[in-house]
């Protein structure tokens, strides 16, 4: 074994004039590969970081009505025949399309609305989770404050034909005989949960209610909220209903920013600008930017790989030249009784050592370049990357193996005498 390495090193050091020029060329090429990949990885990390700044499970999509708030009132609701207009926040068609086209990519959770008097802009996911946990069985539930449900019931009893506009906006009917809420047009009972029964410990309510922890204000705004499952929501909500215009939010979780961005595009197109859909705090814009960067990366990365492959192929050619010269030595070694495996291994080892030495040199060159110039690629500061180094060494080894493969395959089949007569 010792003699094996002894031979491999001797082969390189003695044939330095043969090995050095290609090794130096390789180092230069490898340095380019290293710098390019460092750039790609830096850029990718920059994008990752940007995305990391957005908690995609926490995106609340806000729809804002762009028409006149005092526009035409909807025609009175005829029980059971209600169909949402194009201005509904989500039409049944929307839900169907989203279900098909975005299956697995986004998840709509709850629609939050019906806050009388209070504008609530922030609702945290844990809060919504709480509701979900509270009413996990399907969508036939209603969660609201006790006082609120009483007044809703009273309103529905009082004005079933929508004299004051409320009944039109509410997604359920009240069945006076059974004393329960039902879907519009009747049906199974909608279970009503009282918000007072929800265990809010562990939930930061200050998002919801600025005075949540102030005992001087015992009347909590969230007691006036009504939570309705998304399935029922499209059925009723219309932006022209002045009462509840303020808070129309879907909680959406998405696996990737592209899905969210696509959703915005879809919704905004489908509703033809009547309603503007966007993420909170310019999230849509931000995600859009990330998307553009990802698209750019998708262009840069293959180009980098291509350039690297071209460089590698050229090196393999150089390597093959020296391999050809060494086939004679292989045969002589075998004639002296070297086991075939040892001879072929030695060929690979010598080649791999040269390639790796070039890669080390390239690493130094590339690192120095990056340190000296710190070029900027878009907004991502380009820095030396361990992954790029790993690719560099991987490519060097791969090139060493590939360059030797034809010689190895031939030598593995031929007898020493055949190789020697071939020279």
Partner 1 sequence: MIELSGITKIYRNKNLEFQALRGVSLTIGEGEFVTVMGRSGCGKSTLLTVLGLMSRFDDGAYLLRGQAVKDMPSREICRMRNRHVGFVFQSYNLINEYSALENIEMPLGYAGVGGAARRRRAKELLETVGLSDKARNTPLQLSGGQQQRVAIARALANRPSLLLADEPTGNLDTGSGQEIMSLFKTLNEQGATILLVTHDPLVASYGNRILHMTDGLIEEE
Residues that bind partner 1 (CB under 8 A): 2-3, 6-7, 10-11, 14-15, 329, 331-340, 342, 415-418, 420
- 260-269: list long-range contacts, CB under 8 Å, 24+ apart: 260/56, 260/59, 260/106, 260/284, 260/287, 261/287, 261/288, 261/291, 262/102, 262/105, 263/61, 263/98, 263/102, 263/106, 264/61, 266/97, 266/98, 266/101, 267/61, 267/63, 267/94
CB-wise, 195 or 353, nearer to partner 1?
353
Q: Indicate the residue among 84 and 416 with the shorter CB distance to partner 1.
A: 416
Stated length of the chain: 423
CA 89, 90, 91 angle in degrees (round to 5)? Answer: 125
Residue number with CB closer to partner 1 (296 or 414): 414
**What span, in angstroms and rounded, lies between the C-alpha atoms of 287 and 307?**
30
In terms of CB distance, is 213 or 328 closer to partner 1?
A: 328
The Cα 156–Cα 143 span in angstroms is: 17
| Shortest Å, Cβ 404 to partner 1 | 18
Nearer Cβ to partner 1, position 63 or 334? 334
Number of other residues whose CB lies within 10 A of the CB of residue 347: 23
Beta bridge partners of 107: 253
Q: Which residues pair with 278 in a beta bridge?
A: 62
Q: Residue 21 CB, nearest distance to partner 1 (Å)?
A: 16
Between 171 and 416, whose beta carbon lies closer to partner 1? 416
Cβ distance 63 to 239 under 8 Å?
yes
Least distance to partner 1, CB of residue 1, Å: 9
User: Closest approach of Cβ 411 to partner 1, in Å?
Assistant: 13
Least separation in angstroms between CB 378 and partner 1: 50
Q: Least distance (Å) from partner 1 to the CB of residue 361?
A: 23
């Amino acid at each position: 074994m010792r003699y094996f390495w002894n031979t491999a090193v001797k082969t390189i050091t003695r044939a330095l004039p043969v090995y050095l020029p290609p090794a130096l060329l390789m180092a230069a090429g490898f340095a380019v590969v290293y710098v390019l990949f460092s750039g790609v990885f830096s850029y990718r990390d920059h994008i990752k970081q940007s995305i990391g700044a957005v908690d995609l499970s926490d995106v609340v999509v806000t729809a804002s009505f762009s028409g006149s708030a005092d526009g035409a009132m909807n025609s009175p609701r005829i029980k059971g025949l209600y169909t949402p207009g194009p201005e509904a926040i989500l039409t049944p068609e929307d839900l169907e399309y989203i279900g098909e086209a975005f299956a697995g990519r986004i998840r709509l959770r709850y629609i939050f609305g019906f806050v009388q008097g209070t504008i609530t802009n922030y609702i945290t996911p844990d809060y919504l989770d709480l509701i979900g946990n509270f009413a996990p069985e399907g969508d036939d539930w209603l969660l609201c404050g006790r006082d609120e449900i009483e007044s809703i019931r009273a309103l529905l009893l009082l004005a079933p034909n929508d004299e004051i506009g409320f009944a039109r906006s509410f997604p359920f009917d009240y069945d006076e005989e059974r004393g329960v809420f039902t879907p519009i047009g009747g049906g199974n009972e909608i279970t009503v949960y009282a918000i007072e029964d929800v265990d809010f410990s562990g939930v930061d309510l200050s998002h919801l209610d600025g005075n949540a922890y102030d005992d001087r204000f015992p009347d909590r705004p969230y007691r006036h909220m009504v939570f309705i499952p998304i399935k029922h929501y499209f059925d009723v909500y219309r932006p022209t209903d002045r009462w509840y215009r303020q808070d129309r939010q879907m909680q959406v979780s998405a696996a990737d920013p592209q899905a969210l961005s696509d959703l915005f595009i879809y919704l905004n197109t489908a509703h033809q600008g009547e309603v503007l859909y966007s993420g909170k705090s310019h999230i849509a814009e931000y995600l859009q930017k990330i998307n553009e960067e990802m698209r750019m990366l998708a262009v840069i990365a293959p180009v980098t790989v291509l350039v690297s492959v071209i460089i590698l192929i050229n090196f393999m050619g150089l390597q093959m030249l020296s391999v050809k010269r060494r086939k004679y030595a292989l045969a002589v070694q075998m004639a002296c009784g070297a086991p075939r495996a040892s001879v072929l291994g030695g060929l690979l080892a010598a080649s791999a050592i040269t390639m790796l030495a070039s890669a080390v040199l390239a690493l130094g060159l590339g690192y120095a370049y990056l340190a000296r110039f710190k070029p900027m690629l878009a907004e991502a500061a380009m820095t030396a990357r361990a992954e790029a180094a790993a690719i560099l060494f991987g490519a060097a080894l791969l090139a060493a193996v590939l360059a030797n493969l034809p010689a190895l395959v031939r030598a593995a089949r031929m007898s020493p005498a055949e190789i020697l007569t071939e020279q």
